[in-house]
A and B are shown apart, each in its own frame.
Chain A
Amino acid sequence: GAVVSQHPSWVICKSGTSVKIECRSLDFQATTMFWYRQFPKQSLMLMATSNEGSKATYEQGVEKDKFLINHASLTLSTLTVTSAHPEDSSFYICSSGRDGYTFGSGTRLTVV
């Protein structure tokens, strides 16, 4: 199956700063990758679909200017949380693979 690497595994940042999270598809050339967010004791909610070489598709209610997604190559998608606030603290997880069913190990973001 596909191997998906996510970095960093955790990050703490100050309010107002930006944080970049990387998702790499190590053994599969992914034209599409997915970004999810998971709050404590809750399920995964899809944020956006990352499309290689074109704009990401955001789910309803997700601010595209706040959560910038770049998918410049077939093996790398990045999610940048801009002007982070404490309410953005969450577990961010990407998925990739032929069907998008393989998940990375997640990034715990804490905004203080």
Chain B
Amino acid sequence: GQQLNQSPQSMFIQEGEDVSMNCTSSSIFNTWLWYKQDPGEGPVLLIALYKAGELTSNGRLTAQFGITRKDSFLNISASIPSDVGIYFCAGRRETSGSRLTFGEGTQLTVNP
């Protein structure tokens, strides 16, 4: 199915720095999700967003559901080495039941 446009593709940062990544689409979504995937593992849900404008935090992670319902961003503050991994956004359209569309992923590398 159609993928979401996720950027950046990769990021190389120093420990302690803040990170921001986002997803955009030409379609409207009614749910936005952010996942982290470690090598050889399934994705783990970090944050789920259900309403336009919603801003939700999970520890050092903050994500927002865009007002237009066509975008979302994820911020990670004060990064640590274990933040390394691939971050995926995923969205659910109103007309697609529980089926999810995934972004291309952002590979995050944190240098100690």
Contact = CB atoms under 8 A, between A and B. Distances in A.
Residue with the greatest number of chain A CB neighbours at <10 A, chosen from B48, B90, B97:
B97
A81 interface: no
A44 interface: yes
B88 A44 contact: yes
A100 B48 CA distance: 12
Interface residues of B, number: 23
B99 A44 contact: no
A1 B48 CA distance: 12
Nearest to B96: A46
Interface in B19-63: 31, 33, 35, 40-45, 48
A45 B48 contact: no
B103 A43 contact: yes
15 contacts: A1-B45, A34-B99, A43-B3, A43-B104, A43-B105, A44-B102, A45-B102, A46-B1, A46-B99, A46-B100, A46-B101, A49-B97, A60-B1, A101-B45, A103-B42
Given A101-B45, A101-B98, 20 more contacts: A1-B45, A4-B42, A32-B98, A42-B104, A43-B88, A43-B102, A44-B43, A44-B90, A44-B102, A45-B102, A46-B1, A46-B99, A95-B100, A100-B98, A100-B99, A100-B100, A101-B48, A102-B45, A103-B35, A106-B41
Interface of B: 1, 3, 31, 33, 35, 40-45, 48, 88, 90, 97-105
Interface of A: 1, 4, 6, 32, 34, 42-46, 49, 59-60, 93, 95, 99-106, 108
